[in-house]
Structure 1
Amino acid sequence: MTTPTKLEPAPVIDETARLLTEHYIFPEIADQLAGLLHRRLAEGAYAVDEAAELARLVTADLQSVNGDRHLRLKHHAEPAAPEPGAATLNSIRRDFDISLGGAPRVELLDGGVAVVELAPMLFPLDWAAEPLGAALTLASRAQALIIDLRKNLGGDPDTVAFVCSYLLDERTHLNTMHWRRGERSEQAWSLPHVPGARFGGSKPLYVLSSASTFSAAEELTYDLQQLGRAVIVGEPTRGGAHPCLGWTVHPHLEATVPTGRAINPVSGTNWEGLGVQPDVPCAAAESLDQAYSLARARLTEESDKSPSA
């Protein structure tokens, strides 16, 4: 039997504050938050016995200044790996294995409209390229496509670019990441070639969103919207545009700290705090029916405009 690790809040707070000041994309806010954490520790606010409760309290304080939802102290029921980022990867591996690699649904509806659900995450590309490529290739022959991101909680920006590559005809600048380390920036582009067949950049495309759609799933939604490539149907998304890294600060606690911020080349901004606003607002539960109706109407309109054979 494994002996539970004693929870000592002070070392957790000290290490979390250090990670903030060294890595957070906004240094001035990092200093404010580090001071807040130490002040709350001195006040006894973190005098708790359960790691899950400490995670809840610290996360609320971390998000109290600028509402950054990627800034968290995450609780892991199983002991977390000590290597940076490993705790999150280990925790999502089971989700990958039981979700067909992140594409749990590929379906052809009447009228040539395909639905591809991407959930619960856009998993790391070295895991997900094969299943996502297979799903998108299978849907490539459809006349219209609905991408369902209502249950997608985020993931890998490289996987965003991979998915976009199936939905565009030409290599396209999608996003620019500005990183704190070295004050450098890094552009994200769609790929010049994809394994399999593209759906392409001209047929009708719809993306379903919800209040749960987050992070990299929001980037996929936002990129396609700003390019004028897709109609977004559903609810405003959660509003997290800052990619983050995770560090284990206790055997059951991981501090996730955003190290960059996304800037879209079309809008010159991002969806942080505001979420992606749908083009066709409706309840998430109704969005599939709404998008399907829009797709059928669009295909009928295009058919009526086509010259007779």
Structure 2
Amino acid sequence: MKKLLVGIFLCHSLLYYAQKDNNTAVLSDITEKVKQYYIDKDAYKKVDSLFKSESQKGSFSNLSKKEFAALLTERLRTVIKDKHFFVKYLENYTPKKQGNEKEMEKLNNFHNSLENFGFENVKRLEGNIGYINFKGFAEPKSSTKTLESAMNFVANTNSLIIDLRENGGGDNGMLLLFCSYFFNNKTDLYTTYSRYNNKADLNSTLSKVSGEKYLNKKVYILTSNKTFSAGEALAYFLKEYKLAEIIGEKTGGAANPVKDFIIQDQYLLLVPAGKVTSSVSHTNWEHIGVNPDHETKVENALKIAHAKALKNILKTDTKTELSIPEIKNLINKLEE
């Protein structure tokens, strides 16, 4: 019995030290990635100090790998005050093999297709108002046709509501493609500077898109404090060019684009590696968020946007399937 207990103790000890060594390697790799890639060249010093302090306190001990990743995410965001930092444990992860990029792209596209490339709902509201509920930006090569279908569906509406209240961001190329539907001509929106390669890239809308552009009509964008990253960017740039009115809550405040890394073949790490600068305001929404034109509780945003669109119909004497009394009655219901 004594030998059995000693064996169990030794087994637990070995597991503890193996986990500790692995955690140390993970922390070291993350610190190095922050040092090499984060937009602020001195931020890694805060990360290094944080990890040493937390390790000494035993904060990373006796945690599952999922718990470890979640704690790292929370600590990184707190010490650097950048909400784009993210660590996730990759269960059953298989390291990429050389020449396997096409298979990975196919797999990613399949997973994105299961969520319809971010397009949750596209419909026509009473008064011939278009509505797109959009939750995330998948890469454009796979999602162009879905965006085209959505925009073609709302092309004949009198105004459009884009619901970004649950949009967590995503691909920069898809952001530019979506923006392109609201600009008549190619427009330089912003530059992205990356410290790690000392390079600034100009990001512009496309002059032509595959679907119907939505021009010279009222556009309303719904936001919440969960609207993040590229979701914020869509609201920010359409507002900046006076192409949309923002209704809802102030957004999350994450402008810096990210690079992704696999750490120790177990964890996904997102590091904000660039800085966005608007061609108009020469700034961005980092730490600030996008302020709505009409601030309201998130649950009221859609009704308010719908009522505003209907009031604009009355103001401009635009024809719809509803009579003027019916429009007024609907406005009253929405504003109750």
1:140 to 2:155 alignment: yes
2:263 to 249, 260, 264: 249
Question: Shift of the alpha carbon at 1:74?
Answer: 1.9
Q: Which amino acid aligns with 1:144?
A: S
CA distance in 2, matches of 1:64, 1:195: 42
Aligned counterpart in structure 2 of residue 66 of structure 1, from 58, 80, 84: 80
For normalisation by structure 2, the TM-score amounts to 0.82
Q: Cα deviation per residue 1:136-170 (whole Å; 9 max; x = unaligned)?
A: 12212211011111111110111111011111212
Contact 1:80 1:248 in 2 (8 A): no
Bigger CA drift: 158-167 or 88-97?
A: 88-97
Do residues 29 (structure 1) and 29 (structure 2) align? no
Q: TM-score, normalised by structure 1?
A: 0.88
The equivalent position to 1:174 in structure 2, one of 176, 189, 196, is: 189
Q: Following superposition, which runs of at least 4 residues in structure 1 exceed 6 angstroms of deviation? A: 88-92
Q: Deviations over 1:264-309 (max 9, x none)?
A: 12222111112111111111111111101111111211128xxxxx
Select the residue among 83, 102, 117 that pairs with 2:133: 117
- 2:114 maps to which residue? 98
> 1:53 and 1:115, CA in 2 relative to 1: closer, same or farther beyond 3 A?
same
Q: Give aligned-pair identity as a percent.
A: 26
Relative to 1, partners in 2 of residues 1:18 and 1:156: Cα closer, same or farther, differing over 3 Å? same
Q: Which has the higher contact order (CA 8 A, sep 6+)?
A: 1
Superposition map of 1:1-309 within 5 A: 7=19, 8-79=22-93, 81=95, 96-119=112-135, 121-200=136-215, 202-303=216-317
Of Structure 1 and Structure 2, the greater helix share is in 2
| Letter matched to residue 30 of structure 1 | Y
Deviation, 1:80, is 6.0
Question: Does the Cα contact within 8 Å between 1:20 and 1:34 map onto a contact in 2?
Answer: no
Size of the alignment, in residue pairs?
A: 295
Runs of 5+ unmatched residues, structure 1: 305-309
Q: What is the RMSD of the two structures over their aligned residues, measured on CA atoms?
A: 2.3
For residue 26 of structure 1, report the CA deviation from its aligned partner. 0.7
Asked whether the 8 Å contact 1:178–1:262 carries over to 2, the reply is yes
2:108 and 2:225 mapped to 1: Cα distance?
21
- Worse overlay, 242-251 or 225-234: 242-251
Bigger radius of gyration:
2
Q: Which runs of 5+ in 2 are unaligned?
A: 1-14, 319-336
